[in-house]
């Protein structure tokens, strides 16, 4: 458990450097605020991952769920630290982690390229349909329900 937390902390620190760079270069945010904001996000992420690791003994749920729930509880209206959390993290662009994510996702997919080339055009076409279908039907249902419930 302790080893897992230390390992994740080290990895988070590493990727945070890239996020701070993106925040500076891509979104022109100030350096000190970026560092503080990312550190707060890292802290929350680490708590969530630790809880997830602990809970995985009982029930297996995606670790990202614990991370976002921890953040949600800390930032909800009844939380005593809400103002501070929202304030410090506001200087981190939502898209700041995205470039790093793309880089890692690209590196990760590079091992699949050989298999990809072997796939016929039919599978590529079906995949495009599957992704389009998932996106468009979800948008359709969401749109209809949003309008029926007068949420927009």
Partner 1 sequence: MKNAKTMVRKYWKVYVAAVVLAVICDMIGTVKINTGIGTLTLFPMVFAVILGGLLGPDVLKLLDTEQSKAGGTLVLVVLAPFMAKMGISAGANLGKLVSVGPALILQEFGNLGTVFLSLPIALLLGLKKEAIGACYSINRDSNLGLTTDIYGPDAAETKGTFAVYIVGSVIGTVFISILAGVVASWNIFHPLALGMASGVGSGSMMLAATGVLGEMYPAYADDIMMLGGTSDMLTGITGIYMGTFVGLPLARKLYAWLEPKLGKKKHRKGTK
Determine the size of the site formed for partner 1 (CB under 8 A).
Answer: 96
Catalogue the long-range contacts made by 96-104 (C-beta closer than 8 Å, 24 or more residues apart).
Answer: 96/19, 96/20, 96/22, 96/23, 96/26, 96/27, 96/34, 96/38, 97/15, 97/19, 97/22, 98/22, 99/18, 99/22, 99/26, 100/15, 100/18, 100/19, 100/22, 103/18
- Among positions 70-129, residues that touch partner 1 (CB under 8 A) are 70-77, 79, 82, 85-86, 89, 92, 94-95, 97-116, 119, 122-129
- In the list 29, 34, 44, 91, the residue contacting partner 1 (rule: CB under 8 A) is 44
Residues in CB range of 142: below 8 A, 6 or more apart? none
Cβ of residue 57: shortest distance to partner 1, in angstroms?
18
Q: Look-up: residue for tokens 């890692």?
A: 104
Residue with Cβ nearer partner 1 (56 or 132): 132
Residue with the two structure tokens 């302790």 = 2
130 binds partner 1 (CB under 8 A): yes
31 touching partner 1, by CB under 8 A: no
Q: How far is the CB of 3 from partner 1 (least distance, A)?
A: 7
Q: Which positions from 49 to 78 touch partner 1 by CB under 8 A, shown as an x/- string?
A: x-----------xxxxx-xxxxxxxxxxx-
CB-nearer residue toward partner 1: 32 or 108: 108
């Amino acid at each position: 458990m302790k080893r897992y937390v230390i390992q994740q902390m080290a990895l988070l620190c590493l990727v945070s450097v890239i996020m701070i760079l993106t925040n500076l270069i891509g979104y022109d945010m100030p350096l000190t605020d970026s560092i503080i904001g990312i550190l707060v996000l890292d802290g929350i992420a680490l708590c969530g991952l630790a809880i997830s690791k602990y809970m995985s003994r009982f029930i297996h749920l995606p670790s990202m769920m614990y991370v976002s729930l921890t953040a949600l509880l800390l930032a909800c209206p009844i939380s005593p630290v809400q103002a501070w959390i929202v304030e410090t993290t506001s200087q981190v662009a939502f898209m700041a982690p995205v470039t790093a994510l793309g880089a890692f996702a690209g590196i990760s997919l590079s091992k699949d390229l050989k298999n990809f080339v072997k796939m016929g055009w039919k599978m590529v076409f079906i995949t495009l349909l599957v992704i389009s279908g998932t996106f468009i039907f979800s948008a359709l249902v969401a749109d209809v329900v949003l309008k029926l419930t007068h949420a927009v």
